[in-house]
Amino acid sequence: MTTEHGYRWGMGSYQRPLETVVTDAVKQWASERAASLGQDPRTSTIISSLEDSFTLEVTPSRNDVLAMVEGAAEVVMRMMNDIRGFDKEPVVDLELVLMAMGSSPELGEQFREALQVRLARSGMVAAGNTDRLCSLSSNLLLVRGPSVPAPVAGYLRRVAHTYVNGYDAECISHCGSAMEQMLRSAVPYDLCERVLGPRTRRKSWYEFGERLDIAKRESLFHKGTTPSDKSTNKQLAKAAHAVWERRNAVIHKDSTLTERVDQSVRDTFRVVSALLARRDPERPPWL
């Protein structure tokens, strides 16, 4: 059969554009999954694990569990695309899922499937991308809301997308850029000028290393006067420097130096969160 464009189509799915075939396959898989979730035996196991792990006034129903998983997946996808718009959005479902996954592998499986559906619908289909987005979820919770400077949020969005899609060299590069933009915001020009003195015309800016030293000296990563506070501040400054060094190596020396991409992503979100709140997000509030 010859179409108006002159193509001679064969039989079967080849008669339709590839995008249509893939979209239809994703829709069918998602539809079959949704129809079977009501009888999914994993849900009963999840409810039991929730009862064992949390003090619940009311035992959740199957619909409660499924709604929680789907809500958590929806939050992750929206945060990945718009971190700054998530200050008032409910994140309880995601927080509950992340807390309960450690004691309920079945909950983790359902959560990954929910993420997989949404990634496939958005065209982000790559080996291991669902697992990466799942691990990224807790990082996204660290940094959200309008307090994140727009340039930083833009780079964090690129960090998330390149990480999930497996573009590790690009991801590390964006990690360094997000860190640089965050330091520019946390250590503004007037603070640099006060600490280091005015710049000459020939050199009218302050470099990453200079801002990093000021942030460490002023305890901008983690406020506090105890030895442990000062140690935490130095550790976060060291983590920021390591990400920056990795970024420079990937860009200027060897694009295959990507074995620390997971650590780079984690440290980037942790440092950005710390500079926003002046506190290490990984330390309990009472420490």
Domains of the chain: which residue ranges?
168-287
Return averaged pLDDT per consecutive 10 residues of the chain, 287 residues in all: 52 71 85 85 87 77 90 92 76 90 90 92 80 94 90 96 94 96 94 86 80 95 92 96 95 89 97 95 80
The pLDDT assigned to 287 comes to 64
Residue 2 sits at φ, ψ, to 5 deg, of: -100, 125
The pLDDT assigned to 11 comes to 59
- The two tokens of residue 12 are 């079967």
The pLDDT assigned to 222 comes to 95
The pLDDT assigned to 88 comes to 59
pTM: 0.86
The pLDDT assigned to 123 comes to 77
- The two tokens of residue 112 are 């990954």
Bridge partners of residue 2, in order along the sequence: 8
3-state secondary structure the chain: CECCCCCECCCHHHHCCHHHHHHHHHHHHHHHHHHHHHHCHHHHHHHHHHHHHCCCCCCCCHHHHHHHHHHHHHHHHHHHHCCCCCCCCCCHHHHHHHHHCCCCHHHHHHHHHHHHHHHHHCCCCCCCHHHHHHHHHHHHHHCCCCCCCHHHHHHHHHHHHHHHHCCHHHHHHHHHHHHHHHHHHHCCHHHHHHHHCCCCCCCCCCCHHHHHHHHHHCCCCCCCCCHHHHHHHHHHHHHHHHHHHHHHHHHHCCCCCCCCHHHHHHHHHHHHHHHHHCCCCCCCCCC
- Give me the residue label for tokens 């409810």: 47
The pLDDT assigned to 20 comes to 81
